[in-house]
Amino acid sequence: MAVKDRWLLGAVAGSQVVRFDPPSVALDIQSATPETAMAQKYLLPRLPYAYNALEPVISAQIMELHHAKHHNTYVTNLNKALQDRAAALKAGNKVDIQAIINFNAGGHINHTLLWQSMAPANVPESKVEAAPRLWEAIRQQWGEDADAFRKKFNEALLGIRGSGWGWLVREGNQGPLAIVTTHDQDIVAKHQVPIFAVDMWEHAYYLQYLNGKAAYVENIWNVINWKGAEERYLGESTDSFEDLKALM
């Protein structure tokens, strides 16, 4: 059975075409070396699309708050925690702020991957045809019916208690795919390669969907960036956060 190129959301079809810049070009991320990571100033990445580009799936209001407020807070708190840690080590005082670093570093990493995981519904990147190799692997693992994979993923998302994330990952560079969840701002396991992410924190959907979490989960499939997912599956994307992860 052929893979469907869109899970229906009627209003999407008539929406205005918007420009989509590949995340690899549009993201402004400053990476760190192991020697300088604690003093590194991490930057909020700019989005590869406008705040209203994911409407009607995700409102411009949510996108602006999510990116400019929530993600920016993780970046600000991460930089402060790294500066405090560096100063403490320089003074010879070991201060245990590892939990603060882990939480905010995870928030920065996860949200950067989230922006890369989405694309406007009316661009080629958001069609499953942009990920032929990935979808071949999905069909081999979850069956020919694309809805079977989607159902499994939705069940995992709706099964998260409290705040967290849903992920499609690859177990190592050559391993099988897996659907996994993480809580709060935990990142995926070290051996797992993230293919795409779905944010299940309430700030990602509540202003628009209220308690209709299931509707958010259904609609999010219309704005998955399958081209970016294919690149991560094939190992064509570099990990910009290797050095930051080493501090977690």
CATH number (domain holding residue 240): 3.55.40.20
Is residue 24's pLDDT more than 80? no
Question: Locate tokens 């991490």: which residue?
Answer: 42
Asked if pLDDT for residue 6 goes beyond 50, the answer is no
In a domain, 94, yes or no: yes
pLDDT (0 to 100) of residue 186 = 98
Chain mean pLDDT for the chain: 86
Do the domain assignments include residue 10? no
Residue 234 lies in a domain: yes
Please compute the mean of the pLDDT values over residues 208-234 and round it to a whole number. Answer: 98
Does 12 fall in a domain? no
Domain boundaries, position 222: 21-49+56-245
Number of structural domains, the chain?
Answer: 1
CA 223 to chain centre: 12
- Strands of the chain, DSSP E: 164-171, 177-183, 192-199
Q: Where does the pLDDT of residue 85 fall: very low under 50, low under 70, confident under 90, or very high at 90 and above?
A: confident
Confidence of residue 94 (pLDDT cuts 50, 70, 90): low
Question: What span, in angstroms and rounded, lies between the C-alpha atoms of 18 and 120?
Answer: 7
Q: Render the burial of 184-220: b for 16+ CB within 10 Å, e for the rest.
A: ebebbeeebbbbbbbbbbeebbeebbeeebeebbbbb
Residue 43 inside a domain? The answer is yes
Do the domain assignments include residue 181? yes
Over range 154-166, report the average pLDDT.
98
140 burial type by CB count under 10 A (0-12 exposed, 13-18 middle, 19+ buried)? exposed
Residue that the structure tokens 């094939």 belong to: 234
Query: What percentage of the chain exceeds 90 in pLDDT?
Result: 71
Identify whether 223 is part of a domain.
Answer: yes
The verdict on whether residue 183 carries a ligand-binding annotation is no
pTM to 2 decimal places:
0.83
Residue 186 near residue 99, CB atoms below 8 Å: no
**Has 199 been labeled as part of a binding site?**
yes
Structure confidence by residue, pLDDT tens digits, 123-144: 999 999 999 999 999 999 999 8
Confidence of residue 95 (pLDDT cuts 50, 70, 90): low
67 labelled binding-site residue: no
Burial class (CB in 10 A: 0-12, 13-18, 19+), 141: middle
243 annotated to bind ligand:
no
**Assigned domain for 215 exists:** yes
Sheet (strand 164-171) strand order: 177-183, 164-171, 192-199
